[in-house]
Chains A and B, each alone.
Chain A
Amino acid sequence: MNNSTPYLQIQHLRKSFGSFTALDDISLEIKEGEFICFLGPSGCGKTTLLRAIAGLEQQEEGRIVQAGGDISTLPPQQRDFGIVFQSYALFPNLTVSENIAYGLANMKMPRRERQQRVEALLAQIHLPEIGDKFPGQLSGGQQQRVALARALATEPGLLLLDEPLSALDARVRLHLRNEICALQRKLGITTIMVTHDQDEALTMADRIVVMDHGRIAQVGTPEEIYRQPATEFVARFVGSMNLLPAEVLNHRSLMLGCKEVQVPMVLPVCDQGTLGFRPENVQLQNGPWGLDREEDLVLQARLDQVHFMGAFVRLEMTLDQDLPPIHADLPLEQLHSQKPAVGESLWLSVCREALKFYPAEQQGRDKRPARLLEQGMRMDVAAMQVAGA
């Protein structure tokens, strides 16, 4: 198979549970050997999509093509995949070796060869000595590695990981992240992982599929997703971002709360929108002098609180009473050299490349006004919570 035809094609997939739409017209192409993450909050449809690919859920509409063959209606046992669940799903009454060899038994593989294969897999997951133990005698991380070995034993063309790290504690999780990545690179197996943990997705994936309410919000490399979030939802979900509701005055200026602000970008034609920038892109300035308003957004805000975060400090500032607070992340050294005081008014700048503007979906053009309302409400709630704190 050459690189131009995708290994897995998903076309217009649709699935609902009663009145709840889990998958809403999903189309996606995955190349051979890619590591893909489905990222999104719970209930966004990412697990349903994974289960549809596995044949564990039957879609109502749409096609799935794997390695050139239409698998849309095949039952799971006739598809080609290995799967790892959050709960490990290891058979507790079988030893580790028996678990790994479970799928090899009906491949008519000679016993000797089967044994060798199990040993090779145990070596691959760096647990060579545990073949005779039962799953209950292993730690969570070890169990999940055995589950991975079991899924890989039959050499499937596609590896599906359903929140494989969510049940583990933080340290084990970090370690296993690297191990899964290394194994995937080594074997070159096409892999799809479902996760709600953005760090996991950003560090592990070749490409991330961000999902929201049964739809794909954005597909891109981790860097694209982080630096160029396509929608307000993606911006809000991946990393932290200052998102300020704004009224558009003309193509170069905005109303933020009750302040008029000139922006170093050309705004789209609309009435309302959200201005976004990441906290680490905020620069602390001594004053408004020497700043080019064609290159930078310049703001003045009152410092409310300083949060120590370890490697950096997060400044919490008020631009306007009606707006959510602005966060700015500074290296410790800069804090020590500038020593901003709480209550003081600070000058901030954000360079043009770091600014995002998301026009509000408007009536008429908007397909789902209810959702917009809900998002708006969520933002108000967030603002209220911050104000309350």
Chain B
Amino acid sequence: MSRMVSDFKAFGLAYLRSRTGFFFALIFPVILILVFGAIFSQTGTQKIDLPVQDLDNGTWSQTYLAKLNATGAFAIDMISPDVDFNRYIKDELKVLALQIPSGFNESVNNATRGYGPPATIILKGDPTNTYFTVGMGVANAVALQLNSTVVAMVQTENLGSPQYTFIDFFVPGMIAFTALTTPMFSMSTICSEYRNRGFFKLLGSTPLRKSEWLTAKILWYTVLMLASIAIMYVVGIAAFNAHFTITPMAILLVIVGVFLFTSFGMFLGVFVSNPESASALANAIGFPMMFLSGIFFQLESMPAYLQYIAKALPLTYLAEGLRATMSLGNDVVAATDFVILLISGLILFVIAARAMSWKGK
């Protein structure tokens, strides 16, 4: 019994003396609580994202939009009249958008004087979506309050669901998730273990170069990821009738994602003292990143400040790029994400490669 108590004390002391161990034991749970709390503890303050195109830009349209904004139900994003609105809605995967046609002001004035039918406001999107239903109710209510008589009403235009089911959203996200976890988690542990067990020194005694060693790792994780993608693809198609496809851009994104997260894992592994701490640190960084990068939830469903944080995380761009190319056929967005990931990866690679030494101090 006394031996067990002694071992318990010594282990506990050693664990708490490790900064990473301390962080993982006491601070990491707090971070998770904050992150999950922020995502799920919505208290009725969330607004519906509403792109608006005002083709009239008259007094009545501005009055209508001011009243609509005053409801607090929408986060209104004004879209230029020059933009092809239907194309925009499809490209940006909007389920709800509002367009005020030109001549709206005149139609309202005529309706007010009893010379014509109520003016029309067009609500576009996917009528099967809950947000659309809620949005239509609010937009209609505001239209009815525009004047003492009915001078405007909302018509809907069904742009349909863009063949984009949850599985089309989720599987590319899961590919991005795997591209994060597999290389980053194992590289951080490997770097620490290699240093502690003298493997780096052993390798340093051979003609092998650091860059060759790292490239070999990136290649291995890429091959592993490609196998993983193939499996996810088959499962997605077979089990859920998914619509996504594996495109050359998706392969490029996965390669650059593996490159980035391998470098990131190496970067983490350089700064921790033992494999356990490396694993804990990778978990502490990786898990919040997974939830904040829109792997499991649409970024739009998160509060605005979390969306800002998400934009700073590389996993966001990998998930977004993969979804764009695999599920939506939008290689322009994917290419932009690819460039962002490549630049981030190169920066991390250089920092990590410089920080990692196979030599003793």
A associates with B: no
